Amino acid sequence: MPLPYFDQFVLAAGGIIYAAGTNLMSKKPAYTGIYRHVGYAALGAVAGKYLAEYRIKKKHEKMVFIEDYVESHPEYFPESAPLKWKDVFQTWHPTR
């Protein structure tokens, strides 16, 4: 699972970079019009919030679909006996 505020941070930073880039492309100092930086950062943060919610919703829908498929087709997913540690590890004979 990604970090909780990763999308918001990345898109807010993208908004700031966009504002600075448009200033530089029009041959102005990057920090000119600081209100645009704040506005684009806020817009990016809001877009990041909705993007994160959309990703979580899609992941949830996918998991519900998979769980429903597994429950409705038990012949494809037989119950296996729990493994014991002696079955997981191979025998070890130290060489001395």
Assigned domain for 19 exists: yes
Domain, as residue range, for 72: 6-88
Non-local CB neighbours of 16 within 8 Å, separated by 6+ positions: 37, 40, 41, 44
Assigned domain for 95 exists: no
What are the respective helix, strand and coil percentages of the chain, to the nearest 5? 70, 0, 30
Assigned domain for 31 exists: yes
Q: Which residue, 55, 43, 34, is CA-closest to 11? A: 43
Q: For residue range 12-35, what is the model confidence (pLDDT) as tens digits?
A: 999 999 999 999 999 999 889 999
Q: For residue range 44-87, what is the model confidence (pLDDT) as tens digits?
A: 999 999 999 999 999 999 999 999 999 999 999 998 888 898 88
Assigned domain for 96 exists: no
Percent of the chain with pLDDT over 90: 71
* Per-residue pLDDT, 43: 96
3-state secondary structure of 77: coil
Count of the separate structural domains present in the chain: 1
Percent of the chain with pLDDT over 70: 98
* Per-residue pLDDT, 54: 95
Residue 2 has pLDDT above 80, yes or no: no
0.85 surpassed by pTM = no
